[in-house]
Amino acid sequence: MDSQSIATMPEELDGAALPHAHEHPAFMRHHFEDIGQQREAASFGMWVFLLTEIMFFGGLFCAYLIFRNWYHPAFVAGSNTLDITLGTTNTAVLIGSSFTMAMAVYSAEMRRKGQLVLFLLLTIVLGSVFLGIKAVEYHQKYVDHHIPGMNFSIQEFVHPTNPKAIPLAPDMAEKTQLYFFLYFAMTGMHALHMIIGIGMLIFLVARASRGAFTAGHVMPIENFGLYWHFVDIIWIFLFPLLYLISRYR
């Protein structure tokens, strides 16, 4: 029915002539054909957002790649001041939080409210443990004067205490600031994503406990899951690049 006929024949609008008679769930938007199309559109939109995030972190990865090749000795020396035990523990913790998030999506699909809230809370706990361990590592960098621009000291790189380390000339030792700048930029931006994620998780737990996602409307949980797994993937690449590939042997 076009606008002309609506204007001239308003009586045809009531009853069966209406485009639809609200036989769909409340969470389905009117401009979608059905729930399947709505879920597909929501997933697609979320993935397009995640692609912009890949480009955002991609710039940092590219900078790391170029500067690591230019100032390789400084990047090796900087990398070896990181604590590989804490780094590996954090990787395992973050993978665990991705697992609990995946289980939260499953719980929402199965419409189990208690289980959904439990897995969302476990994800918050594991995410917070990750940030706690990261804070311990950041504090160690502060104690060692390895934060660029904040009383940065090249002492450890010119006169290394580690017997395996190769002493650097002072001009190359200064370039370790570039390694630590990238370290703080990359892990800091990753941590910021996790803090935002934990904020959203608290909001989702509040709504989930009122049953918002266990009556068929799983899309917010599923899309948040995509975000959380994406943050996990960023760490999966940060971990070998920052901690592993330049060890002294």
Whether the Cβ atoms of residue 140 and residue 83 lie closer than 8 Å to each other: yes
Structure tokens at 131: 């940030």
CB atoms within 10 A of CB 203: 11
Rounded Cα–Cα distance for residues 118 and 95 (Å): 17
Which DSSP letter does residue 241 get? I
Q: Residue holding tokens 């504090």?
A: 139
| R_g (Cα) of the chain, nearest Å | 25
Binding string, residues 68-107; x marks residues near another protein by CB under 8 A: -xx-------------x---x--xx--xx-xx-xxx--x-
Residue 166 found at the interface with another protein (CB under 8 A): no
Shortest distance (Å) from residue 83 CB to another protein: 12
Shortest distance (Å) from residue 228 CB to another protein: 9
Instruction: Please choose, out of 136-144, 165-173, 203-211, 230-238, the segment that lies near another protein by the rule CB under 8 A.
Output: 230-238
What is the size of the binding site for another protein (CB under 8 A)?
52
Shortest distance (Å) from residue 196 CB to another protein: 18
Binding to another protein, residues 37-66 (CB under 8 A):
37, 39-40, 43-44, 47-48, 50-51, 54-55, 58, 61-62, 65-66
Instruction: Out of 110, 166, 169, 206, name the contact with another protein by CB under 8 A.
Output: 110
Residue 30 found at the interface with another protein (CB under 8 A): no
Whether the Cβ atoms of residue 208 and residue 113 lie closer than 8 Å to each other: yes
In DSSP notation, 126-169 reads: HHHHHHHHHHHHHHHHHHTT-STTSS---HHHHS-SSTTSPPPP
The length of the chain in residues reads 249
φ, ψ at 179 (rounded to 5°): -60, -45
Residue 244 found at the interface with another protein (CB under 8 A): yes
Binding site for another protein (CB under 8 A): 33-37, 39-40, 43-44, 47-48, 50-51, 54-55, 58, 61-62, 65-66, 69-70, 84, 88, 91-92, 95-96, 98-99, 101-103, 106, 109-110, 225-226, 229-230, 232-233, 236-237, 239-241, 243-245, 247, 249
